[in-house]
Amino acid sequence: MRAYVDVLRFEDKLYGEDYYFTAVQGIVGIYLHLYDNPDILKEDEEPDYSTMTAAERKKAKSIARKKKKAAEKKEAEKREKETAAQNGSDSKKGGNAKQETDIPEDDPNGEELLKKDPLEESQKYTSIVAKFAPDRFETWMLQYDVSIRRKKYLLALQALFKARNLDAENSEYVFRLVDFATKMRDFRELSETVSTIAKEETPRLLDNKSVDQFLTSLAEKVRQGDTHVSLSTRTAVAKALVETKASSATTSAALIVDGGISARGASVPACLYAAKTLKAFGANATSATEKWISHVKERYPLVHDI
């Protein structure tokens, strides 16, 4: 009975296990990337020859033929290797041995999966982890990312409240909160019900401030917090300030550069993301970007491609 009860308990927790959640993060990440970059799936389609000159059309067709031949050659080589491997396996079993049949794979290259709606598939997985892993902060970040793209704004709002209760200081939460508040300010095509709820509840997340005021107060906390504020939070606040035009690029960049290299969580990936963010600020943050790169190279001398 104990073993049976253990199995039942395992089944109850199965969809909240680390390995399943990690898989869901990967699946949803891929689907959202496909949704945000639909042209990825059009790489194999023929270009629009009608807009090309005769010379451009001839060159494009030549490139297309070469790609097709290379793909066919690669596929043929793959089939030959599979056949050779199968023949070798059969010879080892002996002539009179009964050949084992493998379970056929209907979609070995995932082509059928690519035909499905990325957001609908993502929603299936986020619904599962929202039910079985509600105590994970990342669950609600996934829920927000999918819901905001599906234009399910109340689900996105719910995800933000859940995330705030788990980790209100997390940079991922701050970034998405600003994203939501900005969208609610700009979207005028919302239904009356959704608009009313969003207007009533969003200020609670923003401490009853406007987006600009909320970001300004966060920036002040970052300045006062010194090294106790993580680098990822500094980067998120600086990025949000620039995107919402609540502060200049120069002032925002200072949040990262001034003390950021000594802040919590100043790992190599976090430093590289901060550098990428500073570069996106443009010419007004050139000096700050160069200074930051210098700090990173001093701390991590083996890092070259910044």
Per-residue pLDDT reduced to its tens digit, 164-179: 999 988 889 988 998 8
Question: What is the per-residue pLDDT for 22?
Answer: 94
> Residue 93 pLDDT more than 60?
no
Question: What is the per-residue pLDDT for 119?
Answer: 93
**Domain assignment of residue 13, yes or no:** no
> Residue 50 pLDDT more than 80?
no
**Domain assignment of residue 235, yes or no:** yes
**Domain assignment of residue 50, yes or no:** no
> Residue 135 pLDDT more than 90?
yes
Section 136-150 average pLDDT = 95
Residue with tokens 């079993």: 93
11-25 pLDDT, tens digit each: 888 888 899 999 999
Query: What is the tally of structural domains in the chain?
Result: 1
Question: What is the per-residue pLDDT for 44?
Answer: 56
> Residue 183 pLDDT more than 80?
yes
Question: What is the per-residue pLDDT for 45?
Answer: 58
Task: Determine contact, residues 248/219, Cβ cutoff 8 Å.
Answer: no
Rg (CA), the chain: 26
- At 107, which helix (H) or strand (E)? none
pLDDT band, very low/low/confident/very high, at 233 (cuts 50, 70, 90): confident
**Domain assignment of residue 6, yes or no:** no
Q: Of 147-151, 165-169, 185-189, 215-219, which range is least confident?
A: 185-189
257-302 pLDDT, tens digit each: 988 888 888 899 999 999 999 999 988 889 999 999 999 999 999 8
**Domain assignment of residue 250, yes or no:** yes
Question: What is the per-residue pLDDT for 80?
Answer: 78
Alpha carbon distance 102, 210 (integer Å) = 61
Alpha carbon distance 251, 223 (integer Å) = 11
Domain containing residue 256: 211-306
Question: What is the per-residue pLDDT for 187?
Answer: 67
Alpha carbon distance 174, 230 (integer Å) = 13
Alpha carbon distance 126, 149 (integer Å) = 13
In DSSP notation, 108-155 reads TT-HHHHTS-HHHHHHHHHHHHHHH-TT-HHHHHHHHHHHHHTT-HHH
**Domain assignment of residue 252, yes or no:** yes
Task: Determine contact, residues 222/243, Cβ cutoff 8 Å.
Answer: no
| Structure tokens that stand for 231 in this block | 């680098």
**Domain assignment of residue 56, yes or no:** no
